[in-house]
Amino acid sequence: MAKKDGDTGDAGTTGHEWDGIQELNKPLPKWWLYTFYACIIWAIGYWIVYPAWPLVSSYSKGVLGYSQREKVSEDLEAAQADKSTFRDKIASADLATIQADPELLNFAMAGGAAAFGDNCAPCHGRGAQGAFGYPNLRDDVWLWGGSLDAIHQTISHGIRAEDPTTRNSQMPAFGKLGMLKPDQVSDVAEYVLSLSGNAGDDAAAKRGQVIFAANCAMCHGAEGKGNQALGAPNLSDELWLYGGDKATVVETITNSRGGMMPAWTGRLDPATIKELAIYVHSLGGGQ
């Protein structure tokens, strides 16, 4: 039999009515209620078994006394114990031994990459490609040499750093100190550019050659090939730390340059420094 208007069946109503529309008081399905009650019981059980309630200065520990913080700490300690085995070997081994051991080498490469990202990438770039005033570590141009030992020495003691054995070289500010006149600086710059085939004034370059021989050759060499023992760069290639246009070369000769790299000894442990040296050497520019 069809329900008549206003017939609510067995549900009853809540007593609310709007414009003749009544709100039924129909019970929820049994399965939904049982699930809801089960969730309440589960929540109460969880509060009892596991840490759950904040207290004034601590928290409820739960029957099991479980602590996620302690679990993480245990996992970190276990990982550190596993790492310490390799790091102890790296700390005690020389660089050649580490390179010759595939297992140690893989570990050192991973550690070096992480250490590079944390400590070196802000200056040299994430990909070690360098930037203005910061050398590219992927090429084969090194002021003090790109051997594994040379790289390790540079990382350990820095460049112009506050370390007694830091790498140190100082080019005079020829123009600023009045050692050369502006026209002489210009001529030397022209000669320096001519070493890589970029001179724009052959007559000026010829005059600059004489000035170069008297003032610059003692460090850079008679042909401008550089001297790694002194940290003097090769001027005959087309790779420039601060730029190779005429104005920039004039600026360099006039006021000199004085880039600085910190000494990482004391900042990083010996194993990490070795890992860094091996990683940097592997980038493609190691000799």
Q: Has 120 been labeled as part of a binding site?
A: yes
Tell whether residue 124 is among the known ligand binding residues: yes
For residue 231, give every residue at least 6 positions away whose Cβ sits within 8 Å of its Cβ, in sequence order, or none. 143, 144, 159, 167, 168, 169
Residue 169, by phi and psi: left (phi above 0), alpha (psi -120 to 50) or beta? beta
261 is an annotated ligand-binding site residue: yes
Would you say 179 is a known binding-site residue? no
Of 166, 137, 126, give the one whose Cα is nearest residue 261: 166
16 annotated binding-site participant: no
The token pair at 237 is: 């290639």
Question: End-to-end distance of the chain based on CA atoms, in angstroms?
Answer: 97
- The secondary structure of 216-238 as a DSSP string is THHHH-TTS--BTTTTBPPSSSS
Question: Is 39 within any annotated ligand binding site?
Answer: no
Closest CA to 159 of 237, 180, 44, 150: 150
How many angstroms from the chain centroid is the CA of residue 50?
40
The CA distance from 150 to 142, in Å, is 10
Amino acid occupying residue 42 = W
The annotation places the binding site at: 120, 123-124, 171, 216, 219-220, 261
Residues tagged in the binding site annotation for heme c: 120, 123-124, 171, 216, 219-220, 261
